[in-house]
Each structure stands twice: as structure tokens, then as C-alpha cells.
Amino acid sequence: MFRLRLCLVYSGGPTIRQIWGAACLMILLLVGQTTAADQAQKAEGAKGKAEVLEEKTSAEGSKAQPTQAEIINKSEAQAVDPTGKEILDDAITCLARTIYWEAKGEDDAEREAIANVVMNRNGHKGFPNTICEVVKQGHEQGACQFSWWCDGRSDDAEEEENYSRSKEIARKALNRQLKDRTGGALYFHHRKVTPNWSKEYIKTVEVGEHIFYKPAGGVAK
């Protein structure tokens, strides 16, 4: 920042100004490259930690808490998928996009409840062992588990602030820093619809615009 201010205020002869301007441009380019590299390093670190954390949660019944070295910090999580348009191939992105689309515009309590369901499913009998597989279970065009994944529309996030909030909740969910607002739910639906499957399960709680359920006996169908 000091270098940038110096570039803006410097005055001198035409030749000196040209030389100084070229030097300043080089400095700014180098700073930009360093920042981009730093963000990329943070993102890769967060993805690696998330992989370890989802493996821990996928062990059914596991209560092992993450170590300090495994915990994803806020800046690391925010460095992942910064524009909300990357391929869904890591736990943070898959979880954050699910939170974003399933509870878009809702408060943090509903966002956390959606995250709870995804985390509850991860590794549960009848569901896959990774978050991305949980989110993509079924077919993108046709029967699927999460409506945003198979509605035929773009999966890219549209609102930076809302997506940033969703990534923060995804981070806390992976770190096991969220309480389960759903009472162990594996299913949910918006209160404006009443799917046939809801009769087969036990309602656990209502959070905002969503109603949550778990199967009798804990066995998913």
C-alpha cells in the first residue's frame, strides 16, 4: 500500500516519470501475482483439510474432534471457489453451494440446518462417504437428493455476500463447530410443499421455512 501511494504522489521530469511509472507497474504486477499465489495456496490447504475432516465424519458414529492443525480457518475457506463458479469437486465448494441454493436469502439458522443434514448424511448407512457424493447423489437431470443440483439451471453462485456467508457456515460444519439444529435429520423440505416421502419419516424440527425429518430406527431408505 505504501508503494502504491508513493507511485501516485511521485513527481519529476518526463523521463524520470516514465521510468518511475514502469517500475511502479512492475511492483503492482508482482504484488498482484504474490496475492493470487497466496490465495491459491490457502485454497489448496483448505481443500486438503476438508478432505481429512469429511473422512472423519464419514466414519459412522465417530466423535473424534479435529486437531488444531486440521481446523480450517476463515481466510482459507473464503479462498476456495472465490467467485462461486468453480467445478464442484471439493467438500467446501459442494457444501457451500448446497447451503447457498437450498437456503438462499434465509437466516443463518436455516443455513446451518441445511449444513447439518448434509453432514448427517455423510457416511450414514444408505448415503455416500464424501460430501460431494452426498450432494450429487442421484442424477443431475432427473431424480436427485437436492433440487438445486438437478433443476437444469446454472449452479454458479450469484450473490457474493450470501455465498461468502454460506462458505463460512460450511467451514464451521466441517470443523464440527455447529450444533445440530435438526435433531439428527437426514431429510428436509420447504414448508410450501408436502412430498409423499414425508409420511414415512419422523419430523424432528421446523427451522424457518424448512421442515426436517429422520427415519424411524435411524435407517435411511
Is residue 197 in some structural domain? no
Is residue 200 in some structural domain? no
- Print the domain residue range for 170: 2-58+69-178
Is residue 54 in some structural domain? yes
Is residue 192 in some structural domain? no
Is residue 64 in some structural domain? no
- pLDDT tens-digit readout, 131-149: 999 999 987 656 788 989 8
Is residue 44 in some structural domain? yes
What is the percent of the chain where pLDDT is above 70?
Answer: 80
**Pairs from 1-9 (Cβ < 8 Å, separation ≥ 24):** 3/27, 3/28, 3/31, 4/28
How many C-beta atoms surround the C-beta of residue 71 within 10 A?
A: 17
- pTM listed for this prediction: 0.82
pLDDT at 8: 44
- pLDDT tens-digit readout, 27-83: 555 555 558 888 899 999 999 999 999 998 887 556 778 999 999 999 999 999 999
pLDDT at 4: 43
- Indicate the average pLDDT of the chain: 86
Is residue 193 in some structural domain? no
Please, which pLDDT band fits residue 3 given cuts at 50, 70 and 90? very low
CA distance linking residue 97 with residue 162, whole number of Å: 10
pLDDT > 70? residue 190: yes
Is residue 205 in some structural domain? no
pLDDT at 144: 84
- pLDDT tens-digit readout, 107-123: 999 999 999 999 999 98
pLDDT > 50? residue 1: no
**How many domains is the chain partitioned into structurally?**
1
pLDDT > 50? residue 210: yes
